[in-house]
């Protein structure tokens, strides 16, 4: 009976060294990349918070490792804030982060509840330069009013000093707005967006003061 003898394969030392060298290079590369820090942070869309406040809330104030900092974790941290509605994080390069903020803006101070109302209907105790709704608004009107004013240009919202719920026999969704410049404006919920044209309309009256009727007729009554 013939016995088969297994040949021992000689270990190729050169190939082994190549593999080990490759592994070492990979490990060193990963160690280097892990140590690369975020050093360029761009904030867009913020008005309620400063850039640095956003950076702190996002946990980026110590310029952490780029690879260890996930975009999703930045978004989650910021979206926990009452005043931030949505966050989009972009990573155009290894060391750069772009954070795009959509704010949950304060719309008005509701005097009956002594609360500031945000765009998503959240009530907070903080004060902002926003109009004051000075009287009670019935629930069915209040919800529509909140939707209407949330669509108004925010620069115009900030030009409003006071809002009074002022229904008449014709329209239960009627409001009287007192502007910071001293003019007053009547609006209805069905045409609330007309207030966006306020500045263009008022220019036509050469800085005269009075009442602008945008609820019906669209005319300006000059104050004597």
**CATH assignment of the domain containing 45:** 3.10.20.310
Q: Which of 85, 103, 121 is the last residue of a domain?
A: 103
Determine, yes or no, domain membership for 18: no
- Higher-confidence residue: 14 or 172? 172
| Sheet containing 96-103, strands listed edge to edge, beginning at the edge strand earlier in sequence | 40-44, 96-103, 84-93
The verdict on residue 29 lying in a domain is no
What pLDDT is attached to residue 103? Answer: 95
pLDDT at 30: 53
Count up the domains in the chain and report the number.
2
Residues 46 and 141 in one domain: no
Residue carrying structure tokens 């190549």: 18
* pLDDT higher than 80, residue 29: no
pLDDT attached to residue 15: 66
Please give the residue range of the domain that contains residue 52. 35-103
The answer on pLDDT for 186 being more than 70 is: yes
Domain shared by 130 and 213, yes or no: yes
Q: What is the pLDDT of residues 80-117, one digit of tens each?
A: 999 999 999 999 998 999 999 999 999 999 999 999 99
Q: Are residues 110 and 215 in the same domain?
A: yes
- In this model, does residue 148 exceed pLDDT 90? yes
> CB within 8 A of 178, min separation 6: which ones?
160, 161, 162, 163, 164, 184
**Mean pLDDT of the region 30-37:** 61
pLDDT band per the 50, 70, 90 thresholds, residue 142: very high
Domain boundary, last residue among 103, 136, 158: 103
% of the chain exceeding 70 in pLDDT: 84
What φ, ψ does residue 71 adopt, rounded to 5°? -60, -40
Based on the domain organization, do 93 and 161 belong to the same domain? no
pLDDT at 7: 53
Query: Which residue from 126, 105, 107, 125 is spatially nearest to 47, judged by alpha carbons?
Result: 105
What is the domain-level CATH number for residue 185? 3.40.50.10960
Q: What is the pLDDT of residue 87?
A: 97
Q: What does pTM read for this prediction?
A: 0.77
DSSP letters for the chain = -PPP-PPPPPP-HHHHHHHHHHHHHHHHHHHHHHHPBP-EEEEES-SSS-HHHHHHHTT-TT--BTTTS-HHHHHHHHHTSTTEEEEEEEEEETTEEEEEEEE--EEEEETTTTEEEETTS-EES---S--EE-S---HHHHHHHHHHHHTS-HHHHTTEEEEEE---SS-TTEEEEEETTS-EEEEEGGGGGGGGGHHHHHHTTTT--EEEE-SSS-EEEE--
**Residue 27 located in a structural domain:** no
Asked if residue 117 and residue 66 are part of one domain, the reply reads no
My answer on whether 153 and 216 are in the same domain is yes
Angstrom distance (rounded) from CA 189 to CA 163: 13
* Confidence band, pLDDT 50/70/90 cuts, at residue 118: very high
pLDDT over threshold 60, residue 207 = yes
Residue 14 covered by a domain: no
pLDDT at 170: 86
Q: Give yes or no: residues 167 and 215 share one domain.
A: yes
- In this structure, the answer to whether residues 91 and 117 fall within a common structural domain is no
* Band of pLDDT at residue 221, cut at 50, 70 and 90: confident
Of 103, 125, 154, which residue is a domain's last? Answer: 103
Q: Are residues 55 and 69 in the same domain?
A: yes
Same domain, 79 and 110: no
The yes-or-no verdict on residue 218 having pLDDT over 90 is no
Q: Is residue 110 part of a domain?
A: yes
Do 118 and 172 lie in a common domain? yes
With respect to residue 137, please indicate whether it lies within any of the assigned structural domains: yes
Q: Are residues 141 and 112 both part of a single domain?
A: yes
């Amino acid at each position: 009976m013939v016995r088969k003898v297994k040949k021992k394969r000689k270990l190729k030392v050169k190939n082994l060294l190549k593999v080990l060298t490759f592994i070492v290079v990979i490990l060193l590369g990963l160690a280097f990349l892990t140590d690369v820090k975020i050093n360029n942070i761009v904030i867009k869309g913020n008005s309620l918070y400063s850039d640095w406040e956003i950076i702190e809330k996002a946990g980026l104030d110590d310029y952490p490792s780029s690879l260890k900092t996930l975009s999703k974790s930045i978004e989650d941290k910021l979206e926990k804030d009452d005043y931030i509605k949505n966050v989009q994080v972009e990573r155009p390069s290894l060391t750069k982060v772009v954070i795009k903020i959509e704010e949950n803006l304060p719309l008005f101070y509701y005097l009956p509840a002594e609360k500031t109302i945000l765009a998503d209907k959240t009530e907070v105790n903080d004060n902002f330069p926003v109009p004051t709704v000075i009287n009670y608004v019935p629930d069915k009107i209040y919800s529509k009013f909140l939707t209407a004013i949330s669509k108004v240009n925010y620069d115009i919202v900030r030009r409003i000093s006071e809002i009074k719920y002022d229904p008449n026999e014709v329209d239960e969704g009627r409001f009287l707005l007192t502007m910071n410049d001293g003019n007053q404006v009547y609006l209805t919920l069905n045409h609330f967006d007309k207030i966006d044209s306020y500045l263009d309309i008022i220019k036509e009256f050469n800085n005269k003061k009075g009442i602008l009727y945008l609820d019906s007729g669209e005319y300006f009554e000059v104050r004597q």
